[in-house]
Amino acid sequence: MAVHKKEEFTQKEQELAEFAKAMAHPARIAILKVLATRNECICGEIVDVLPLAQSTVSQHLKELKNAGLIDGTVDGPRSCYCINWKAFEKFFAEFSGLFTSLKIKNEKACC
């Protein structure tokens, strides 16, 4: 069937999955890289760097913003984006928290 059952998982599981999904495309990784190396507001420069149409880049930016990975403000006729470091810290904390406990106990598994 085509019923998506995402709601049946825990809040944390959904959050982590949402975060991962936002990064699940090389274009969005590339955008994050550009924003990270500049750490300043950039707008259409991203379009120049990526091998994609302006509308497509805009769509990717929207997804990153919706997921909370970046912040964006309108600055005159252009838009300004930057990394939301807090969101990344939260992701790292939650994500590594999922695993570290066990990893310490026993590195070795059966396969």
Partner DNA sequence: TCCATTAATCGTATATTTGCGATATAATAT
Partner DNA sequence: ATATTATATCGCAAATATACGATTAATGGA
Binding site for DNA (CB under 7 A): 1-6, 21, 24-25, 27, 43-44, 47, 51-56, 58-63, 72, 74, 76-79
> C-alpha distances in angstroms, 58 versus 50, 78, 92?
11, 12, 26
Phi, psi dihedrals of residue 50, rounded to the nearest 5°: -90, 150
Pick from a copy of itself, DNA, none: which does 109 bind, CB < 5 to 8 A by kind? a copy of itself
- 80: contact with a copy of itself by CB under 8 A: yes
- 105: contact with a copy of itself by CB under 8 A: yes
Q: Return the half-sphere exposure (C-beta side, CA atoms, 13 A cut-off) of residue 70.
A: 29
- 87: contact with a copy of itself by CB under 8 A: no
